[in-house]
């Protein structure tokens, strides 16, 4: 399932470009204007709901912080659980962590060790959709897909609202990747 041209325009036109942020030469894709536009947000979330309603997912995992927004809304629409993936040191219970490289150094993400457990189920084999707002180089998403695997769940697909295709970030992810909008 893909968006038609009118739906793509509604979503794309609601995303603001901020030149030279966070540093010169970068054009930042600001989704706050998408979130404050009810028509665009509903268009996006209805599309994602229709795409994933027959995947028989157990959980949506969202990457800190913008993945929390889209992931929570989608989990609610699908009637399934939401799991936050946080930066190191932000979760209160026993966690599993994964390091990933950045332009200058490393960062780390983590999830609770029992993140995908539910009533009467230990979480092994749980079907999980990973979601975030944007994929650039793919390092964070690759690390989170690895975390999902480490705790015994299955990353069914990784979903992004936007993909910066010229950076080829999807190539390092060991799960199917779907992007609502591709920017080259």
CA distance 70 to 1: 18
Residue 103 among the catalytic residues: yes
User: Among 73, 110, 63, which residue's Cα sits nearest to residue 91?
Assistant: 110
Check 103, 110, 170, 171 and give the catalytic one. Answer: 103
Check 66, 108, 110, 171 and give the catalytic one. Answer: 66
- For 11, 13, 24, 45, 49, the CA distances from 38, given in Å and listed in that order, are 10, 13, 31, 10, 16
CA distance 57 to 74: 11
Beta carbons within 8 Å of 43's beta carbon, 6+ residues apart: 3, 7, 10, 11
Tokens of 52: 């994933």
| Cα 10 to chain centroid, rounded | 20
Residues catalogued as catalytic: 66, 103
């Amino acid at each position: 399932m893909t968006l038609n041209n009118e739906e793509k325009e509604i979503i794309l036109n609601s995303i603001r470009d901020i030149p030279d942020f966070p540093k010169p030469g970068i054009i930042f894709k600001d989704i706050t204007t998408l979130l404050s536009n009810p028509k665009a947000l509903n268009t996006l979330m209805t599309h994602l709901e229709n795409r994933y309603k027959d995947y028989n997912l157990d959980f949506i995992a969202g990457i800190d912080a913008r993945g929390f927004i889209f992931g929570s809304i989608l989990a609610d629409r699908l009637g399934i659980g939401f799991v936050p993936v946080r930066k190191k040191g932000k979760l209160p219970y026993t966690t599993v962590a994964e390091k990933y490289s950045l332009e200058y150094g490393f960062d780390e993400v983590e999830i609770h060790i029992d993140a995908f457990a539910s009533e009467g189920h230990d979480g092994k084999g749980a079907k999980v959709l990973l979601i975030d707002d944007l994929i650039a180089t793919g390092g964070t998403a690759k690390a989170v897909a690895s975390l999902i695997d480490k705790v015994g769940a299955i990353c069914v697909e990784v979903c992004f609202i936007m993909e910066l295709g010229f950076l080829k970030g999807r190539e390092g992810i060991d799960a199917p990747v779907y992007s609502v909008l591709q920017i080259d």
